[in-house]
Structure 1
């Protein structure tokens, strides 16, 4: 049995799949298998790419059950996996060569951790001719040194390419929620972080999450192509958790928090309105002070007042 199962989700992106398989083949740790999950795309093309890759012989290609979807594809790949450790490697992401070596070593020496995450970089890509090429990098949550439940409650701070975990974790925390069309990884991390210890490898990035903001269709990132679904399912996860809390504890605390937020929003709106009014007044005054015609009128007004004062004297 391989120690690590790498689950690769793909759909009608043979160029990305070819690149992902070549990326996995460069790992310094070699006790792995790859399960490629065809999520409703051209299955023959997926099998052709797998058979021609440097990993041929260590790749199994399967089809996600209809109607498919990101979560169903992930679960199908994991159920088919044979390894002790699991990692999702989407077809457009990549690793540093030492990713598996360092993460496997961490879990081997930290038996209380259910998984380990690594520092990650966002890689921006643009289309040049027939290829997508890297045009820049930036840290993903620079300075992050652990998986924090408090921070996860605000926004997702992890991506699948950065997380190696024990296959047994699904027996403890459940599977990816197939009722969600997006944010399935965030929902899973919330369940994990609430109950279990997760290690973290800080320092130089070992995982690279690629983004193509301009891409649509098959080449698009879910981050951008499924932006509306991300917002929709983010709300679904939050409302579901709130209902569970209210069912167990009653609505008292959520109602109090909502009242405090309402008052803070009202005070903020009032303060913002006052600041805007002061700024408007200052801008108008500055325009009057600087405008040549206004300065001339003030000067003429000063002379006229001077003549009146002279006449009276």
Structure 2
């Protein structure tokens, strides 16, 4: 008979591949949670299994329900996410990237919110942005600021310009995940953005205006160590290509069907982002000119 799945209120999925500098911090983040009815699933995406095995065993010794999935072939982040999610039966799901972290109250407060608000399909918290230096081989904090504390609600139209929150800050309902068929495994990057857009097409994502998640970024990494970076920084060219293909594909499908839909919103979002960037550049140019020629 097939082995039964563990059950919990929350499934936490951490995807990792040859990044031993970060996984111990992720384990500490999960272990520190006030809310404990969870299963931590570490998906080793065809990397060296030594560190993931060590960290999962350490979590288990410390009283955490933890599960290791060793994938033989790496076919993308979203495939790894789906694999991990499908190893557990739970009411809620969250993706905890191996380099990010939480405030101890993250799960306690987000689970409580969704338990007491049945209509939203998920809830997002504010995130701190932690800039790190990795040149010494270990992450060292350079600066900390807010990533998205200007958010007042999660608008579909806003997400059509660009994603507004990282996976670490988003707890969502399994029923919403299953209704969408999971993450799109054809996307090498931007899979979280696509998933967020598709959820918003089905219903609301609520905002819990507290900074309970930490989004860690490395703006530069040593030569030959690109896997230690973030796809939004070290993978900018790939992001640009996939962003273009994604927007074009959805708009093309709308045009073929003769409808006004998500494709039009994505096109408008792209134009808005371009206009906003040009305005910001002009303001910077004006400020530089003014500061270079002060009044007599």
**Which of the five TM-score ranges fits, normalised by the shorter chain?**
0.7 to 0.9
Residue in 2 that maps onto 1:235: 244
Residues 1:47 and 1:177: Cα distance change in structure 2 (over 3 Å)? same
Counterpart CA distance in 2 for 1:57 and 1:140 is 30
Counterpart CA distance in 2 for 1:218 and 1:55 is 29
Tell me, what secondary structure is at the counterpart of 1:12?
Answer: coil
Residues 1:238 and 1:55: Cα distance change in structure 2 (over 3 Å)? farther
1:10 equivalent to 2:19? Answer no
1:208 to 214, 217, 220: 214
The structure with the greater share of residues assigned to helix is 1
RMSD: 2.5
Residue in 2 that maps onto 1:139: 146
Residue in 2 that maps onto 1:244: 253
Residues 1:116 and 1:55: Cα distance change in structure 2 (over 3 Å)? farther
Most deviating of 237-246 and 55-64: 55-64
Mark the structure with the bigger radius of gyration. Answer: 1
Residue 134 of structure 1, CA deviation: 1.4
- Where do residues 267-306 of structure 1 align in structure 2 (5 Å cutoff)? none
Tell me, what secondary structure is at the counterpart of 2:134?
Answer: strand
Counterpart CA distance in 1 for 2:250 and 2:135 is 44
After TM superposition, the score normalised by the length of structure 2 is: 0.81
Residue in 2 that maps onto 1:92: 99
Residue 250 of structure 1, CA deviation: 6.5
Residue in 2 that maps onto 1:153: 160
Residue 56 of structure 1, CA deviation: 6.0
Residue 180 of structure 1, CA deviation: 0.9
Q: How many residues are matched?
A: 260
1:21 to 27, 32, 45: 27
Which digits, 9 at most, give the CA deviation of each residue in 1:193-221, with x for residues without a partner? 12211111013x11110001112423111
Residue in 1 that maps onto 2:194: 187
Which digits, 9 at most, give the CA deviation of each residue in 1:168-194, with x for residues without a partner? 112222221111110000011111112
Residue 31 of structure 1, CA deviation: 0.9
Counterpart CA distance in 2 for 1:45 and 1:133 is 20
1:58 to 65, 68, 71: 65
Tell me, what secondary structure is at the counterpart of 2:26?
Answer: helix
Residue 44 of structure 1, CA deviation: 3.4
Residue 243 of structure 1, CA deviation: 1.5
Tell me, what secondary structure is at the counterpart of 2:90?
Answer: coil
| 1:23–1:94 Cα contact (<8 Å) kept | yes
Residue 141 of structure 1, CA deviation: 2.6
| 1:3–1:32 Cα contact (<8 Å) kept | yes
Counterpart CA distance in 2 for 1:129 and 1:39 is 25
Gaps of 5+ in 1: 273-278, 280-285, 287-313
Residues 1:128 and 1:230: Cα distance change in structure 2 (over 3 Å)? closer
